[in-house]
Structures are given as C-alpha cells and as structure tokens.
Amino acid sequence: MVDVEKALDEAGLKNASVREYVAHWAEITGADRVEVVGAADDARLLAEALDAGELQPAGDGLYYSRSFHKDTARSEERTIVATSNPADKGVYNNWRPSSEMKPLLVDLMRGASTGKTMYVVPYLMAPPGSPLERYAAGVELTDSRTVVLHMIRMARVGAQYLDDLEDPDSFVRAVHVTGDLENLGQGTPHDQRYFVTVADERTILHFGSSYGGNALLGKIAHGLRQACYDGWASKAFLAEQFMLLGIVDKETGKRYHVCGGFPSASGKTNLAMTLAPDALGDRYTVEFYGDDIAWLWVNPDDGRVYGMNPENGVFGVAKDTNEKTNPTALDAIRPGSGAIFTNVAYNEDTHEVWWEGKTKHPPADVAGWRDWKGHLISERDPDDQSPWAHPNSRFTTTLANVPNVATNFEDPAGVPIDAIIFGGRTSDREPLVRAIHDIAEGVYDGLTLGAEATFAAEGVDGQLRYDPMSMRPFMAYSEGDYAAHWLDIIGRATDPPIFAHVNWFQRDPEDGHFRWPGYRENLRALLWLVELKDGLVSGRQTPVGVLPLEEELRLDGLEIDDEDLDVILALDLERWCQEMGFREAHLREFQNLPEEIWEAHRRVAAGLEADRLEYERQEEERLEAGPR
C-alpha cells in the first residue's frame, strides 16, 4: 500500500486537512504512488510525458497531445450540480441530490487508479492576497500527468498556497479519475461518465475523461460552477464566464476596464485578445486580462465593481485562430512558450501543427501529417473532406506569454470595471452597440442573451438559443436566485458600471456579407461606450438602450459602406417586437424571477410597441400625403 504520509512529508505539505483528504482518496482510488507537484516540477514532468509518449514535441518548447477520440469536449449532459437542497435545482444545472451522487462517484472511482500515480495538485484561482482568496484555494487529485501539465499552465500551482490558509480546512476538494476511456459507453444509455460539483460541500468529483474542463478541475468546475455557488452562498461576489480587457488612452492617461459574456462562437476570445486598429493605435492600447472567467465584487472603499481573472492561463480554441483573427494568440503560443496543443493535426516527421483556419489551405505536402484521431492524411480516401483538427482543438499557454497582457494582471486588488457587455451572434435586429444605464434592464439583457439558431420548420428564422449571461452550462443554482444575486451585488455599487449589448455579426440578407468588419475594429464600439459612461457623448435613446450617433463613433481609417453603417446603428422594430415574445417565454422557464426583471421586460416591450405604432402612424401620414 502506498505510504501517503511519507510522500506528503517529503513534499513539505503541512496542512493537516489536506493530508487527511489525500489519504482518504488514495485509499479509495487505489493509486500505487502519491506525488505532490508544483510549478517547479514542470520541466521534469514534461520530460517524463515525452518519454512515456503522452506528449509529442511540436517545435522548440512546444508540445502536442491527442486525447481519446470520444473524449474531446465538455459533456454538458453528464455534468451535474449536486447539493442537499432541492431548491438549488435550476433549468440548466442538471441538479441532483448529493446523497445520490457522492456514493455513485465513490463506487466508480474505487480502485480505478490502481497501477497509477495520484498527483496532488495544490492550486490557487486568484492572485495571492486577493480579497476573494478564501474562495480560490483548491487541491486537485488526478491520475493523469498531462492534466497536471495543463493545470500548471492554467492556475497558480504549489504547496505554499495551501500551507498558509486563514482557515486550513477551507479549500475546494477536487478529485479527477480518468477511468477506462475505451470502455465507458460515451454517448450511449450506458454512459459511465459523471462530472459532479457537490457545491454546498465545495467538493468536485469527475470520473471518465482526461480532457479540458472535464479534467482541469481548477478551471470551470472550480473557477465557474463552484465559485458561482460560493459567490451566492457568501453574498460576496459573482463568478462569470466573462472576458476582461483594459483600454489605455495614451493621450489622456485614462484607463478603462471592460468585461462581458458571449455565447459560443460569438467572438469572446478574439475580443479579449484584440489590439487597437492601425488607425487608432497611436492613441489607444488594449491590455489583456482574461478570455474566459471573471470574478466580480464591490469594493466598499470607492463603491465600484472590481474584477479579476482567477485563471493563470489561456485554454483557447485553435480553430480559425490566425494572423487576422487573433495575432495575439499566435504570439502567445510561439516557440519557447511551453504551450500544449491538443487534438490539432500533427506532423510526426517535422513536429508541425495545423488546424482549420490557421492558413487558408492545409499543407500541400501531406507526408507525415496525422489528423486529430491519429490517422495518416496520406492514406485518406480522396473524397474524405473531414477536418484535420477537431473543431474543439485547443492550445494551453500561461497569461505571461500573452504579448499584451496587462502589467497589473496579478494585482490582488483587481481592476475597477467600467462596463459589462453582452454579445450574441445575430444577423439582424441587434445593432452594433446599445448601452443600458439601468441595472435591472442590464441584468435583464444578460438573462436574455442568445445567439442565433434556425427553426425553419417552425417558420421562425433567426430565433435565439438563449444563454443567460453566457452561463448556461455553468450556473450552479436556480436562475431566479441567480438574477436576484446579480441585482444585489451590482446594486451595492455607488458608481456602477454601464451595461451594453454588442453584435459584430449583422449580415446583408442579399449577399450575406458582414455589415461590420469586426476583429480589431470592434474596439471602436467599446471606445464609444466608455465615453458615453464618462459623459463625453450622448447617443440617442431607444427602448432597448442608447445607440451611437454616427458622428460619435471613431471611424478614422475604417472602410464601411454608408448603408451598412446606417443599418447597424438602427433598430428593426418589427423584428424586435417579435423577439420580445420569445424572451417572455424564455423567462417564464425560470422560477422566482425577481419582479425587477419582469418590470424591465415590460418597460422594454411597451417602449418598442409604442415606437412601432408611431412609425406606422408616420408611414400612413406619408402615404396619405402622396409624392412630393
């Protein structure tokens, strides 16, 4: 039997609660060895992983891994929030009683790490000294060396983070057991995978994967689901799937900070890592803080909302990342960065990597290239057009590698938030940017955030798949309580951030071109927003918020058709009135939604209907008057 006490003594891990937790799970999982790891072990673990064939070299200081072909993404249907209180059940959190889930996971994990090493990964999901540090400490136990290497890039890892806790027992207990990946029945009625956050016990139990958010438990399981619950239970903070960036005006010295949520494929990472457009680069600099998670709280000293990225790295989607869409990301995974690529295409002869969208065409010489399943491209049927890289292929790199990372990204005090934005992918009705001053209307807008789906069979094109605050897969308690918690936290601010909704994806229905060029040009909308908050511009009021006037936008050096600009700075009242019916049906799915949210919905709906009727009246008068 493994000598756990000896292993912990050799590692210098003193925390008695941690030691007890490790010993308990070492006995359950049956691991042959226990090893405490920290960031200082990275080089050794990389060498061991290369020797074992778990990683392959992908250039100077770059690495490649391939996961099991049925283990390539998060599995929302197998992801569960468990508590002892049925009132925590929501529409999206797959709630189950903890009394049912804990024994089930213990049985699945019993003996499942026999013959393996149990790596003990002490970590912190916040800069040391943060006001939220008490919620940030955790220990992940995992039987996967590649998971350890990813965690070292994504969190602050080391025993020192657990030795000096104010409450030695206050840490998240996270257990990851890979399981027999080839025999877990993935996607069948006999699926054995379970990814469970026992939120009211601050315990995370994940079985049946070695991939991404299923296995890097400090990331979304702790950083989002558990922190979401902790923030609500403590009434102290919000934990959201938000990007966070800074804008520096070099002319005035003013700094602004913007965070926000975007559903999948709505441009969140590209915005988080954006640079200023060339025409504005002499005056503005954009600083990167984070692309995926933000924790928000109110500082009582100045009455402002503050935010931080609890992560220490980037777990980015490789697909379509290139010099145009995200040059910052490419720089962050440059040779020597220590980045790990997962499930991209790999050339075993040259150690190159490739993914769809990296270049316009795949490499012409296919010698040595294998796709994400490990199959040689050269042996493919000529008609096989399946992707070389998995659509969810990833790169993992530390924040310090991002070339425009903010100089204060590790400041435990966080940064003051000037604006909270939501951005969905809609081809019509949603203008470029609309600002919202009222807190309840801002929260309402976040709850009705969505991206387009097509329901042609029902005769409704462009209906949204709603993703409240972009937290649909990560909400840890009921949506009504979630909305109330948002109103409470932001409502405490005496100088609250401005809310806004952005949309880079309006299309011309005739030829399908995007009306707005996007990418780096998106900064222009954010500059208008922070200037609106500062009272430097006024915009025009509409029922869904304040829209920019054309002359208020910084359009220097921007090539855009006048008609396209007119459309993205206007409202399609008929489509908006139709949308309000869908929004009401969406909100009625939630239990105990605060009355302030319903009042906001009614105000917006009434304003839109009044504007629509007034427009129709004016049109009737114009027609009656006849041609001039």
Question: Read out DSSP for 33-90?
Answer: EEEE--GGGHHHHHHHHHHHTSSEE-STT-EEE---TT-SS--GGGEEEEES-GGG--
* CA–CA distance, 373 with 66 (Å, rounded to integer): 7
Cβ–Cβ < 8 Å for 181, 143 = no
* CA–CA distance, 17 with 203 (Å, rounded to integer): 14
600 labelled as ligand-binding? no
470 labelled as ligand-binding? no
Q: Where would I find the H helices in 358-438? A: none
- Does the annotation count 266 as an active-site position? yes
Cβ–Cβ < 8 Å for 148, 65 = no
74 labelled as ligand-binding? yes
**CA neighbor of 220 nearest in space, from 297, 310, 333, 156:** 310
211 labelled as ligand-binding? yes
225 labelled as ligand-binding? no
321 labelled as ligand-binding? no
End-to-end CA distance of the chain: 95
144 labelled as ligand-binding? no
Structure tokens belonging to residue 25? 């799970």
* CA–CA distance, 272 with 171 (Å, rounded to integer): 30
Phi-psi region of 519 (alpha: psi -120 to 50; beta: other; left: phi over 0): left
**CB within 8 A of 619, min separation 6: which ones?**
none
The residue with tokens 């806790």 is: 165
Structure tokens belonging to residue 264? 């999948």
Could you tell me the sign of the dihedral formed by the alpha carbons of 227, 232, 236, 237, in that order?
Answer: positive
The residue with tokens 């002869």 is: 349
* CA–CA distance, 379 with 204 (Å, rounded to integer): 42
394 labelled as ligand-binding? yes
* CA–CA distance, 613 with 222 (Å, rounded to integer): 49
392 labelled as ligand-binding? yes
15 labelled as ligand-binding? no
**Going by DSSP bridges, is the β-strand pair 79-83/96-97 parallel, antiparallel, or unpaired?**
parallel
- What phi, psi does 262 have (nearest 5°)? -140, 130
- Out of 144, 210, 266, 478, the active site residue is 266
267 labelled as ligand-binding? yes
33 labelled as ligand-binding? no
Could you tell me the sign of the dihedral formed by the alpha carbons of 110, 111, 116, 117, in that order?
Answer: positive
Buried b (16+ CB within 10 A) or exposed e, 121-144: bbbbbbbeebbbbbbbbbbbbbbb
435 labelled as ligand-binding? no
Cβ–Cβ < 8 Å for 31, 113 = yes
Structure tokens belonging to residue 245? 């960036």
393 labelled as ligand-binding? yes
Half-sphere exposure of 208 (CA within 13 A, CB side): 23
* CA–CA distance, 21 with 38 (Å, rounded to integer): 18
Is 140 in a helix, a strand, or coil? Answer: strand
Give the catalytic positions in this structure: 266
In the annotated binding site, the residues are 74, 211-213, 264-270, 392-394, 425, 519-522
Binding residues for substrate: 74, 211-213, 264, 392-394
Residues forming the annotated binding site for GTP? 265-270, 394, 425, 519-522
